[in-house]
Structures are given as C-alpha cells and as structure tokens.
Amino acid sequence: MTLMTSLENPFHHSDDSLLMMLAALFESDPRMAETVEVLKVLPWDTAASTEEVQSYLYVLVEGMAMMMALNQDGRRLATAMLQPGAVFGEESALNFERPGPAYYVQAIKPVKLWRWPRAEARALLERQATLRLALMRTFGTRMLQVEHRLEEAAYRWLPERLAAEILRQSSYLQTSQIRLSHQALADILGTYRETVSAILRDFREAGWVKLGYRRITILDREALERMAGMRRA
C-alpha cells in the first residue's frame, strides 16, 4: 500500500447515506429519541474518556476525532481516525468477557456526538439493524487503519512517517497549517516527543515547514511528499 493510497482511501471519508439512515431512526424509534444525549466538543478536547467509552454507546455526527490507545505506563498511540457515521463505545453493549485495550477519543475538529447509556445501548443495537451496520463498518475501518499504521511502523523510518502524518493531517483539515503539538504527533506515531522535535527541526532547517506554538505550517509540500515516498526525487 502506497502512502498516496492511504491518504485517498475511502475509509478516511464519512458515509453520508449511512448517517442519514441513522438520523431517520429517531422518527421510527421514539425510545431512541427520548434517551439520546447530544454532546458538542471543541478541537483537542476529550470527546469520550476511557471510562465513558465503557459506559456509553456513541455515534459521531459531525467533525473528526482520533481513537487514542493507552498502555499501563500511560503511553498513548493513535489507532484510528473517526469520521461522521462512526460508532464507538461498543463495550457498553457487547459485554466482552475480557476488556479490550483502554482507549479514549479526542476531537481534532469541532465534534457533535449522540450517546446512549449502557442501560439503553444493548437494546438499541438489538432493535436497529442500521446501527449494527454502522458499528460493523466502523470496526472494519478501524482494522484497516490499524493495519496501515502497523505497516508504516514496520517498513518506514520515522522521518518518512512524520512527513506522511503532517501531510495526512493537512489533508484531514484541508489546510497547510495544522494545529498539533510535538507531543500530539509523538502520540500519533507511537514515539517520543524529543524525537519528533528533533526531526521537525531538521524539516524546518531544510525549509519544508515553519514551526510555531502547537502549529506547523507546510512550506514545501513536494519535499514532504518526497520524504514520505509519495513522489520520486
């Protein structure tokens, strides 16, 4: 899989038709409408904490968010990007014998969410095939993204991965200026902040990016694309 493919792959895009089907459920299921809670979250705030994803079922309605895995030492790693129509918090309804890896969800654009408490989540999934379809689609999307990140980690060296992530975030946000701290990039790539900072300084000295407080501005997109393997020198 080439990096250009990963940036253009349809699993990075929302499914508007599925989201419309989910919205239509409120008209046919009064209980669903009565028990839903609507949340709005600002960029880089926590959309759902580790405890909340185990207690509520969520549908992402607007915006974009990242799933961040947590290990026992508190290290963080971005595992998936969530777009409108994504369903998460399935732990609240599926009653797994063993809990999955701890994770939380962080907004990267202004986010709107629907959520239902554990007491409603299982019955809701049993009643609504459209919601089950959205959950299965989200599972598949998450698996594809995890596989891609594993492939990148295994076969690409860190400067390539960092260049690719800067371009990926620029594509998500549709701007050449991305608001990400060095720590946030390190979390996404599963490495250390100091390592990311050193590579970014190299990119800056080469004239590829401009660095500011929690801000990276792309100055030479083609150079980053070459580093990321999207273009041949």
pLDDT digits (tens, 9 = 90+) for 51-84: 999 899 999 999 999 998 887 776 788 888 898 9
Token pair 């390592």: residue:
195
Q: Would 3-152 and 158-227 be classified into the same CATH topology?
A: no
**pLDDT value for 88:** 93
Q: What is the pLDDT of residues 120-161, one digit of tens each?
A: 988 899 999 999 889 988 888 888 888 777 777 777 889 999
**pLDDT value for 10:** 34
pLDDT at 13 over 60: no
**pLDDT value for 176:** 92
Q: pLDDT tier at 174 (50, 70, 90 boundaries)?
A: confident
Architecture per CATH, 158-227: Orthogonal Bundle (1.10)
Domain residue extents for the chain: 3-152, 158-227
Residue 39 CA to residue 55 CA, distance in Å, equals 15
Q: Does domain 3-152 have CATH number 2.60.120.10?
A: yes
